[in-house]
Structure 1
């Protein structure tokens, strides 16, 4: 078997779609024997506030707590997904803003990124910029399946990954 991907970078955020992204990335990693880095990249809540120094100091502890809860939710989803994966998997996170550029920079070290369409119906959707996917793709130049926010089933991308990348080319 020819290994296609050696390093996969998956975007984690505080939305429901993270579990589907993790499952898809782990399937590809298992098939190719690739290592996986899960990078939590979410915009901090304070960025959404209008600049008002007198209000910021009052709200900041609550916003930090909100961000901590969001990150912990992603950590729990990650831990549950990789518990019995039997793969080389690593958690990472960034506090850099803008998060899309921080993620794109890390993508330069990966063979494949796994990202997702923004889930506008999720209460935590504001943690991911609306142009996250476009920015990451254009800045990094790395290939990436963009998983729909309403993914149904667990075989998305399977045929493409097997045919294009992972099957040896046989002469006719």
Structure 2
């Protein structure tokens, strides 16, 4: 019986929100879970401070922009998923804090990667995904902005490192791994210490997951790029990995591998901090 019972999916007014909604509904149906679509965006009053500076009479116009975006998101939600499977919630204020707060009551989040063209993706701050991961401490599937429905999660690549972040990511992914058709664990040699897979393979086996193991030597290129290349070569449909960061929210420095994957992913990535 799956332990995945509650999901939160972030929704904004972008067409890509429909892909996230469908994935959340798909996972919820497969695991007997319920998903909540959380509409949380930066208000136009904050996004366009220069407009407010030009005169207080701009406030009604900016409020109308917010109302139109909300209505567009509501219509997208209604046209995409069943309310019986995915309920609707609206948050006001800071999207990072609002989403992270809702995440505390979820087993898994579904978030969206920032589009390469940042001018088109202004509903949430640039550090939305990474900050929600850090602030909530909850695992998330981050959906690439190029993704299209339906999304398959049948071939999974697990990036393993004997750390708490990796362990949390694997534990969070277990319900998905148990339903996957193919699971491969990859680990990278670190210095003189060769990567080992017997412990993690044994752990997965005890949870009903039969996985193959790949040992890799970190190349001169970024390990993040190497990991994404391995996922492409393996035709993986989901990457599972720990997310590394340091310091307090809004002040932390994201680890190089995590930063590369978040920026360049082409398949969904389940991450946990």
Q: Give the TM-score normalised by structure 2.
A: 0.55
**Match of residue 31 from structure 1:** 30
Q: What is the count of residue pairs matched by the alignment?
A: 167
1:164 to 166, 169, 177: 177
Name the CA shift for 1:145/1:157 in 2 (closer, same or farther; >3 Å). Answer: farther
Name the CA shift for 1:75/1:126 in 2 (closer, same or farther; >3 Å). Answer: same
Structure 2 unaligned segments of length 5 or more: list them. Answer: 157-172, 181-206, 211-273
**Match of residue 136 from structure 1:** 132
What's the CA shift for 1:116? 0.4
Q: Is the 8 A contact 2:107 2:138 kept in 1?
A: yes
What's the CA shift for 1:158? 4.2
**Match of residue 91 from structure 2:** 94
Name the CA shift for 1:53/1:169 in 2 (closer, same or farther; >3 Å). Answer: closer
Distance 1:49 1:78 in 2: 26
Distance 1:136 1:106 in 2: 10
Name the CA shift for 1:59/1:158 in 2 (closer, same or farther; >3 Å). Answer: farther
Of the two structures, which has the highest relative contact order with CA contacts closer than 8 Å and spacing of 6 or more?
Answer: 1
Q: In terms of Rg, which structure is larger?
A: 2
Q: Is the 8 A contact 1:4 1:165 kept in 2?
A: no
**Match of residue 116 from structure 1:** 112
Higher strand share: 2
Q: Give the TM-score normalised by structure 1.
A: 0.85
Structure 1 unaligned segments of length 5 or more: list them. Answer: none
Distance 2:39 2:96 in 1: 11
SS at match of 2:140: coil
Instruction: Give the alignment of 1:61-76 within 5 angstroms.
Output: 61-76=60-75
